[in-house]
A and B are shown apart, each in its own frame.
Chain A
Amino acid sequence: NAGVMQNPRHLVRRRGQEARLRCSPMKGHSHVYWYRQLPEEGLKFMVYLQKENIIDESGMPKERFSAEFPKEGPSILRIQQVVRGDSAAYFCASSTISGTGVSRNTEAFFGQGTRLTVV
């Protein structure tokens, strides 16, 4: 099991360009989360997705940011018209719910992150 794979590891974009960040969850995991780590801050939850569904996007900026997790392929975090303030590390995590209903035995496994630099 290769773990959560994120690519690219480093991404440089000029202001106004689009950034696409990819996340392949661990095998068998159907839940994906995206987090953003700004300099000097902790990780901030952005969005929680299951296959073909956005479950919770309360942490996503209202404009320019979107996320998807298609039936086939990786989850994509897309940032349009990037600005310098988007420079951050973006982490993806995946998990699976064990059992049904409420479960506290779930662990989220994290990728190594994508470091986005906007110049």
Chain B
Amino acid sequence: AQSVTQLDSHVSVSEGTPVLLRCNYSSSYSPSLFWYVQHPNKGLQLLLKYTSAATLVKGINGFEAEFKKSETSFHLTKPSAHMSDAAEYFCVVSLNQAGTALIFGKGTTLSVSS
């Protein structure tokens, strides 16, 4: 069965410092993995996705994530946080091999202070 665990419900960083949002997954096959971001009163936006190509995936707004099969992890990072990064982030794994239905983690709220 597929599942995803986001290890932190809330992460707080200062502007200009690195961001690390942790995600571990469980999948019976090589998964497709995604990170989505949700800003207040906005819909979900795809940040990046891993689909068995390069293990280091670059996304929008300077975010990237590394797929580590040995650790079953897909952590999201950014070298330098910006105030506008404050949002809720969801790690997502495919529900099926077609990648058309998704299981979401519980989300990590990122707070950025000046």
Residues of A within 8 A of B (CB): 4, 31, 33, 35, 41-45, 48, 56, 91, 93, 95, 97, 102-113
11 contacts between A and B (CB under 8 A): A41-B107, A42-B90, A43-B104, A45-B101, A45-B102, A45-B104, A56-B101, A95-B100, A104-B51, A112-B42, A112-B43
B2 CB, min distance to chain A CBs, angstroms: 11
Contact indicator B52/A104 (Cβ below 8 Å): yes
- For the complex formed, measure the closest distance between the CB of A109 and the CB atoms of chain B, giving whole angstroms: 8
Q: Once bound together, how far apart are the Cα atoms of A33 and B100, in whole Å?
A: 9
Q: Does the CB pair B43–A111 fall under 8 Å?
A: yes
Contacts of A42 in B (CB 8 A): 6, 90, 104-107
Residues of B contacting A112 in the complex (Cβ-Cβ under 8 angstroms):
41-43
Assuming the contacts A104-B52, A107-B46, A112-B43, asked whether A44 and B101 have C-beta atoms less than 8 A apart, the reply is no
Question: For the side of the interface on B, what is the size category?
Answer: 20 to 34
**What's the minimum C-beta distance from B65 to chain A, rounded to whole angstroms?**
15
Stretch from B56-64, B72-80, B91-99 that touches the partner: B91-99
Task: Bits for B31-48, please: 1 = Cβ < 8 Å to A, else 0.
Answer: 010001000011111100
Q: What per-residue 1/0 map shows which CB atoms of B11-34 lie under 8 Å from chain A? A: 000000000000000000000100
Q: Tell me the complex Cα distance, A35–B103, Å.
A: 10
Q: Which A-chain residue is minimally distant from B4 (CB atoms)?
A: A42
Q: When the two chains form their complex, are residues A97 and B98 in contact, meaning their CB atoms are under 8 A apart?
A: yes
Given A42-B105, A110-B43, A112-B42, A31:B99 Cβ within 8 A:
no
